[in-house]
């Protein structure tokens, strides 16, 4: 589905776009000419580099940042009869994987400030069937790892960090991925680095990594020239060498990309502090410039003060040549989840935020002037639609 053409005189400013340099493009051409285009030496090289970035922990790459979480659940032995605690404010992948392995998602409402799972509410949601927590670092803002792991340790739960959005973020100076239990990262084109599609899983032991390799490819274990054994049901989740070569060209830039994102996030705060913008009553994200990788810059519209809804705000921004996004609708209100018993009112904080959250353009190759343009357009639209 393509969006309607916009009549603005200025070039369209997308919500995001990947930054891929010419060296990487040439490298991809080399892989394509090499005679080996699916999983091979580039996958191995990317895994080694990612492991280095994650403090030497075992890392394996996959063809999404969704199967990584499903595989982590399987490695942890989580399935039928088990419950997994997570947030209703995420990409639906986060809870779909829980259903996929036959377990039950247990949603916990969010903290309205961080927009991440409310750690104060987790313990009340734990039952004898609870096996794991999947926290999400929305927009790259890390969930409090000290408190998270204190709960997990006390209640003997596994943690699968959905760090799809927080690669390059840190918790109190410790890079996400270098510590903790399972850490799942996505390399979708909208994320801070990409392999087109893809993701990686950081694990604790080589034994877990071996199991992950089996789940990744039909459960197969090879030995010698002709040995093959299959003991578990695996899927088809391997990353191609072409994609891995893209990742090898991206990873060295991750910290620089994140620095640019942080610079533009700061600019958003500056522009939004101007009196006309401030008067709008927008909900802003925490102004964290030391831990967050600024995967996204998201405002929450003040629905009680506006005569138009979010879709109309987005339409008017689009007409002004500005792309925006919604990350995300509340998971528990999707038809699938309603059929499983959830309903409006179950998680009122998440529901209000999810109805009104709006992601503004933020990517390394935008400009300071783009930020000014976005805030000016948003201010103009919202000012014109205030309830009297
Ligand atoms: C992107 C994302 C995923 C999954 O990513 P894919 O690589 O597209 O499968 C999971 N969780 C969150 C929070 C994400 O943003």
pLDDT on residue 268? 98
Reply yes or no on whether the pLDDT at 385 is more than 90: yes
Whose C-alpha lies nearest to ligand 1, atom 14? 164
Under 8 Å between Cβ of 209 and 60 = yes
Q: Report the range of poorest mean pLDDT among 8-22, 112-126, 164-178.
A: 8-22
Q: Measuring CA to CA, which residue among 65, 84, 87 is closest to residue 328? A: 87
The percentage of residues in the chain with a pLDDT greater than 90, rounded to a whole number, is 97
Mean pLDDT of 90-96: 98
Of 44, 49, 153, 191, the catalytic one is 191
**Quick one: which atom of ligand 1 is closest to the CA of 295?**
15
Residues 150-191: tens digit of each pLDDT: 999 999 999 999 999 999 999 999 999 999 999 999 999 999
What is the per-residue DSSP string for 162-198?
Answer: E-TT-TT-EETTEETTSSSSEEEEE--TTSSS--SS-
Mean pLDDT of 339-363: 98
Determine the Cα–Cα distance for residues 20 and 193; give it in Å rounded to an integer. 9
- Residue 102 structure tokens: 């036959």
Order the strands of the 158-162 sheet from edge to edge.
59-62, 199-202, 182-186, 158-162, 130-134, 83-86, 104-107
Residues 277-331: tens digit of each pLDDT: 999 999 999 999 999 999 999 999 999 999 999 999 999 999 999 999 999 999 9
Determine the Cα–Cα distance for residues 180 and 145; give it in Å rounded to an integer. 8
Cβ-based neighbours of 214, under 8 Å, separated by 6 or more:
220, 221, 231, 232, 234
Residues 190-209: tens digit of each pLDDT: 999 999 999 999 999 999 99
pLDDT on residue 106? 98
pLDDT on residue 14? 98
- Residue 130 structure tokens: 């609870």
Determine the Cα–Cα distance for residues 4 and 265; give it in Å rounded to an integer. 28
Reply yes or no on whether the pLDDT at 6 is more than 80: no
Reply yes or no on whether the pLDDT at 121 is more than 90: yes
Residues 20-44: tens digit of each pLDDT: 999 999 999 999 999 999 999 999 9
- The SS3 assignment for 343 reads coil
For this structure, is 191 an active site residue? yes
From-to residues of CATH 3.90.1150.10 in the chain: 254-383
Residues with CB under 6 A from ligand 1: 64-66, 90-91, 93-94, 136, 162, 164-165, 186, 188, 199
The total of other beta-carbon atoms located within 10 Å of residue 75's CB is 23
Residues 37-91: tens digit of each pLDDT: 999 999 999 999 999 999 999 999 999 999 999 999 999 999 999 999 999 999 9
Determine the Cα–Cα distance for residues 373 and 367; give it in Å rounded to an integer. 10
Mutual angle of helices 67-75 and 206-216, in 10-degree steps: 120
pLDDT tier for residue 7 given thresholds of 50, 70 and 90: low
Determine the Cα–Cα distance for residues 143 and 118; give it in Å rounded to an integer. 9
CATH number of 22-253: 3.40.640.10
pLDDT on residue 10? 83
- Residue 298 structure tokens: 């998201």
**Quick one: which atom of ligand 1 is closest to the CA of 68?**
9
Determine the Cα–Cα distance for residues 23 and 233; give it in Å rounded to an integer. 39
pLDDT on residue 388? 84
pLDDT tier for residue 1 given thresholds of 50, 70 and 90: very low
Give me ligand 1 centre to Cα 229, in Å. 32
Cβ-based neighbours of 27, under 8 Å, separated by 6 or more:
245, 248, 249
Reply yes or no on whether the pLDDT at 251 is more than 60: yes
Q: Which CATH class is domain 254-383?
A: alpha beta
pLDDT on residue 77? 98
Cβ-based neighbours of 57, under 8 Å, separated by 6 or more:
51, 177, 178, 202, 203, 204
Determine the Cα–Cα distance for residues 248 and 28; give it in Å rounded to an integer. 10
Give me ligand 1 centre to Cα 165, in Å. 7
From-to residues of CATH 3.40.640.10 in the chain: 22-253
pLDDT tier for residue 4 given thresholds of 50, 70 and 90: low
Give me ligand 1 centre to Cα 23, in Å. 27
**Quick one: which atom of ligand 1 is closest to the CA of 64?**
7
């Amino acid at each position: 589905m393509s969006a309607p053409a916009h009549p603005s005189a200025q070039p369209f400013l997308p919500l995001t776009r990947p930054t891929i340099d010419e060296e990487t493009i040439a490298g991809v051409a080399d892989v394509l000419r090499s005679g080996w285009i699916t999983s091979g030496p580039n996958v191995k090289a990317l895994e080694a580099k990612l492991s280095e970035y994650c403090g030497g922990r075992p890392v394996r790459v996959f063809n999404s940042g969704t199967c990584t979480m499903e595989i982590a659940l399987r490695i942890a032995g989580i399935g039928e009869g088990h419950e997994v605690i997570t947030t209703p404010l995420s990409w639906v992948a986060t809870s779909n994987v829980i259903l996929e392995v036959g377990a039950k998602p247990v949603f916990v409402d969010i903290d309205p400030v961080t927009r991440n799972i409310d750690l104060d509410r987790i313990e009340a949601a734990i039952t004898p069937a609870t096996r794991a927590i999947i926290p999400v670092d929305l927009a790259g803002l890390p969930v409090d790892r000290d408190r998270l792991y204190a709960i997990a340790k006390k209640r003997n739960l596994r943690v699968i960090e959905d760090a799809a959005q927080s690669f390059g973020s840190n918790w109190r100076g410790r890079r996400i991925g270098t510590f903790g239990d399972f850490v799942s990262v996505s390399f979708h084109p909208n994320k801070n680095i990409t392999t087109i599609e893809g993701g990686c899983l950081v694990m604790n032991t080589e034994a877990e990594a071996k199991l992950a390799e089996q789940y990744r490819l039909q459960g197969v274990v090879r030995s010698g020239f002709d040995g093959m054994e299959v003991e578990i049901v695996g899927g088809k989740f391997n990353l191609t060498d072409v994609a891995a070569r893209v990742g090898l060209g991206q990873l060295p830039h991750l910290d620089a990309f994140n620095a640019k994102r942080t610079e533009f996030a700061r600019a958003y705060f500056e522009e939004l502090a101007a009196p006309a913008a401030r008067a709008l009553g927008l909900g802003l994200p925490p102004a964290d410039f030391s831990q967050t990788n600024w995967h996204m810059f998201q405002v929450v519209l003040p629905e009680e003060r506006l005569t138009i809804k979010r879709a109309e705000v987005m339409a008017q921004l689009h007409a002004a040549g500005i792309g925006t996004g919604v990350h995300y609708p509340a998971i528990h209100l999707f038809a699938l989840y309603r059929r499983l018993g959830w309903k409006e009112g179950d998680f009122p904080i998440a529901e209000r935020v999810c109805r009104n959250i709006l992601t503004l353009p933020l990517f390394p190759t935008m400009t300071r002037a783009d930020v000014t343009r976005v805030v000016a357009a948003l201010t103009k639209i919202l000012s014109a639609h205030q309830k009297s």
